[in-house]
Amino acid sequence: MTDPAIWGLPEEQCVVLQPSHAEEVLDQVYSLVEKTKDTFVLYYAGHGLLDMDGNDRLHLAMPKSSSSRPYRSLSYSSVVSILRNPRSGAERNIVILDCCYSGAASADGMGAKSSPPEEAPVEGIFLLTATKRNEQARSPGDRTFTDFTAELLALLSDGIRQGPPLLDLATLHAHLYTRMRLRNKTHPQLVAPSSAARLALARNCKYREPLPGTAPEQSARDEQRLGKVIGGLVLMVAVAAVAVAIAVLGTFMGEDAKGGRSSESSPAADSMLRGSRGSFTGNVDLSEEGRIDWVQWGYLPKDRNVTAEFSGGPAESECRQYNVYCVTRRADSFVIGDYRALGTEAPVRLHASRQPVSFSWRGGAAPNQSASEVRSVVYQGGPGAGFRILVPTTARTRVFRL
C-alpha cells in the first residue's frame, strides 16, 4: 500500500496489528477514525465465527477465540458502531474482510450483498468480503497468504491488462469474483451503492496512456479520485489463530415450448407476482428443473448411510463444519438468495428416510457436486417461525419453485 506505483500511502498512515484481544482492535479503530480526514480502510485477515444462537451475526476471531466461546472474539457490530461514531473524521469507510462467513457482515447494518440484493447499503460504509455468509474461506497451510488475500495482492501488484487507470472497488470485486470462483468456488461480495463502488483504491500497473486524440482528461480526473483516498488511513488486522429443502428458478414454459425446451415469455403490460401451492411425490432432478439456478438446504454426505426414519439436529451444530444451513448450490450460478430463518426457534437439519419426495442433482458446487435420492431438509417451528429467500425480478416471466 505504500508503493507509489500502486497506492502511495505514507507509511505513518498505515497501521498493522496482531492483536491479543478485541479491545486492542477497537481502541485502535476508535483512535484512527478520529484522525482520518477522508477515507478509512480496515482490512481483517483471520478466522470468522457466527453466533451460536443462529442469527448469523459475524465475530472476528482473536487468538483465544473458539466456536464454543464466541464472546472471546471481536463482534463485528462493535466495529460498525465505531465507524459510525459522530466524532469520526472519515467521510467514508472501506472494510475488507478475509475470513469464513464474512458475507454475514451485511447483517450488521452494513447493507446487503451485491448479488442478490437485500437491504440498501448504508451511506459512507463500503464492504468487500472474501465469501458469502454461508461459505468458508480457504487458507492453504503451506502458503503465506489466504486464497482471497493472495488474489487481491496479485491484482494490486500485477494490475489488470486493458483495465482502467485506477482500480476501484467495483472493478476489483468483479475480477476477484471470477478468480475466486475458478480457484476455490467461493464468492466474494461487495456491499456498496453503484456510484460509491467506483471509489478508486489503487493505480492500475498495467494501464497504458491512451493514444493521441483520445480523452487524456480522464486520467487527470482519475488521479484526483485516487488523491482523495490517499488522504486517508489504513488499519490492517491479522489474526492467526418450516421445512426448506430446495429452491429452483427456471424460465417460464410457454405453450410453444417443444421437445422439453423452455421458452421465456414476453413480459406482461403490468408486472405481477402469482403464487400457488400443491403437492408432489417422487424424485426431483434439480439440474433439470433449475435451468437458471437451484439450491438445496439440509444435505450432508453422511445421510447416504442413515437407515433410521429420522435423524439430524440443530442446524448450527450439524452444519457448522460445512456451512450455515448445509447448503449446496449450482456451481455456475448465484441468483437465488440465501435462506434466512425468522422467528424465535433455531432451525433444525432433518433427514427423513421415508419422505415421499427426494432430490438429485449434478453440477453442484464442491464438495457435493452430485447426489441422488436426497431426503434432507432444514426445518423450523415455533411461534412466528418462517424464513426469507430473496430472488431478483426481471423483465421476463420466470417460475420460482420452493
For CA atoms 148, 154, 156, 162, give the dihedral sign: negative
Q: Are 188 and 132 in contact (CB under 8 A)?
A: no
What integer pLDDT is reported at residue 361 of this predicted model? 93
Same domain, residue pair 208 and 272: no
Same domain, residue pair 223 and 330: no
Same domain, residue pair 211 and 317: no
Q: Which helix (H) or strand (E) holds 207?
A: none
In a domain, 3, yes or no: no
Cα distance between residue 66 and residue 159, in whole Å: 37
Type of residue found at 350: L
- Which residue, 238, 254, 279, sits at the end of a domain? 238
Cα distance between residue 35 and residue 40, in whole Å: 10
Can you tell me which residue has the cell 497468504?
145
pLDDT value at 68 more than 80: no
Q: Which residue has the higher pLDDT, 339 or 17?
A: 17
In a domain, 106, yes or no: yes
What integer pLDDT is reported at residue 71 of this predicted model? 78
Same domain, residue pair 209 and 343: no
What integer pLDDT is reported at residue 112 of this predicted model? 34
Using CB atoms within 10 A of its CB, is residue 152 exposed (0-12), middle (13-18) or buried (19+)?
buried
- Based on the structure, what is the number of domains in the chain? 2
Same domain, residue pair 299 and 193: no
pLDDT value at 117 more than 90: no
What integer pLDDT is reported at residue 98 of this predicted model? 95
Cα distance between residue 132 and residue 113, in whole Å: 8
Q: pLDDT band at 254, cuts 50/70/90?
A: very low
Same domain, residue pair 204 and 261: no
**pTM beyond 0.75:** no
Cell matching residue 293: 439456478
Q: pLDDT band at 264, cuts 50/70/90?
A: very low
Cα distance between residue 66 and residue 50, in whole Å: 10
In a domain, 6, yes or no: no
- pLDDT average, residue stretch 267-272: 56
In a domain, 104, yes or no: yes
β-bridge mates for residue 249, sequence order: 293, 400
Q: Which residue has the higher pLDDT, 286 or 262?
A: 286
Q: Which of 98-102, 248-252, 305-309, 330-334 has the highest mean pLDDT?
A: 98-102
Same domain, residue pair 290 and 231: no
CATH code at 74?
3.40.50
- Per-residue pLDDT tens digits for 170-190: 889 999 999 998 888 899 999
pLDDT value at 219 more than 70: no
Q: Are 98 and 137 in contact (CB under 8 A)?
A: yes
Alpha helices, DSSP H only, in 36-146?
Answer: 76-83
pLDDT value at 61 more than 60: yes
What integer pLDDT is reported at residue 166 of this predicted model? 86
- Which residue, 198, 216, 238, sits at the end of a domain? 238
Q: pLDDT band at 222, cuts 50/70/90?
A: low
- Structural domain that includes position 253: 246-401
Same domain, residue pair 223 and 318: no
Same domain, residue pair 21 and 167: yes
Work out whether strand 371-374 and strand 398-401 pair parallel, antiparallel, or are unpaired.
Answer: unpaired
Question: Which are the contacts of 144, defined by CB distance < 8 A and separation ≥ 6?
Answer: none
In a domain, 83, yes or no: yes
Per-position b or e across 350-389, b if 16+ CB within 10 A of its CB = bbbeebebbbbbeebbeebeebeebbbbbbbeeeeeebeb
% pLDDT > 70, the chain: 76
Same domain, residue pair 360 and 311: yes
Using CB atoms within 10 A of its CB, is residue 303 exposed (0-12), middle (13-18) or buried (19+)?
buried
Q: Which residue has the higher pLDDT, 224 or 99?
A: 99
Lowest mean per-residue pLDDT among 8-12, 266-270, 297-301, 316-320: 266-270
Q: Which residue has the higher pLDDT, 12 or 265?
A: 12
Mean pLDDT of the chain: 78
- Per-residue pLDDT tens digits for 131-173: 998 899 988 777 788 999 999 999 998 888 878 888 888 889 9
Same domain, residue pair 280 and 303: yes
Type of residue found at 46: G
Same domain, residue pair 113 and 251: no
- Per-residue pLDDT tens digits for 311-366: 888 887 888 766 667 888 888 777 887 777 777 778 888 888 888 889 999 998 87
